[in-house]
């Protein structure tokens, strides 16, 4: 098991966990790009967006809902925030375990990339 996020799920690597249930875990990004930068991931190893199947769609809906609730809890829901999923090399995905970035707490750049 050399996946860094699977090791976070298994508590083999420490992280600042802010939420977890049976399917999803959320923790603070180790290299935050904004005052609030959380990662929301499925506990199951799904390599990237392109590996999602029809059966995974409820899981993705739950992840978005969890992100929205965490944005409220972190106090950035009113001001606004961004959910980002990088996919593949040209999409800027460095960790090959599907994850959603929740970023906020400052005015974010207008350009998406
Ligand atoms: P990606 O570029 O794959 O979309 O984003 C990967 C993110 O994972 C980066 O923002 C990076 O800072 C974060 N990250 C990488 N390794 C670790 C780690 O061991 N712990 C935590 N908390 N975040 C990590
Ligand atoms: Zn993994």
The CA 110 to ligand 2 mean position distance, Å, reads 31
Q: pTM (2 decimals)?
A: 0.98
| Ligand of minimum distance to the alpha carbon of 91 | 1
**Strands (DSSP E) along 1-113, which ranges?**
17-20, 24-28, 36-42, 81-84, 100-104
Residues acting as catalytic residues: 99
Whether pLDDT at 1 is above 80: no
For ligand 1, atom 18: residue with the closest CA:
30
Of 57, 59, 80, nearest to 68 by C-alpha is 80
pLDDT at 113 over 90: no
> Quick check: 67 pLDDT over 80?
yes
What is d(CA 73, CA 97) in angstroms, rounded to the nearest whole number? Answer: 25
Return d(Cα 94, Cα 91) in angstroms, integer: 9
pLDDT of residue 46: 98
Mean pLDDT of 95-107: 98
């Amino acid at each position: 098991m050399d996946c860094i996020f699977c090791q976070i799920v298994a508590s083999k690597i420490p992280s600042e966990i802010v939420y977890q249930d049976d399917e999803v875990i959320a923790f603070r990004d180790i290299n935050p790009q904004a005052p609030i930068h959380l990662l929301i991931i499925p506990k199951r190893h799904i390599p990237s967006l392109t590996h999602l199947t029809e059966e995974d769609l409820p899981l993705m809906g739950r992840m978005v809902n969890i992100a929205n609730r965490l944005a409220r809890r972190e106090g950035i829901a009113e001001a606004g925030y961004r959910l980002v999923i990088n996919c593949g090399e040209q999409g800027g995905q460095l960790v090959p375990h599907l994850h959603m970035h929740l970023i906020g707490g400052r005015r974010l750049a207008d350009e998406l990339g």
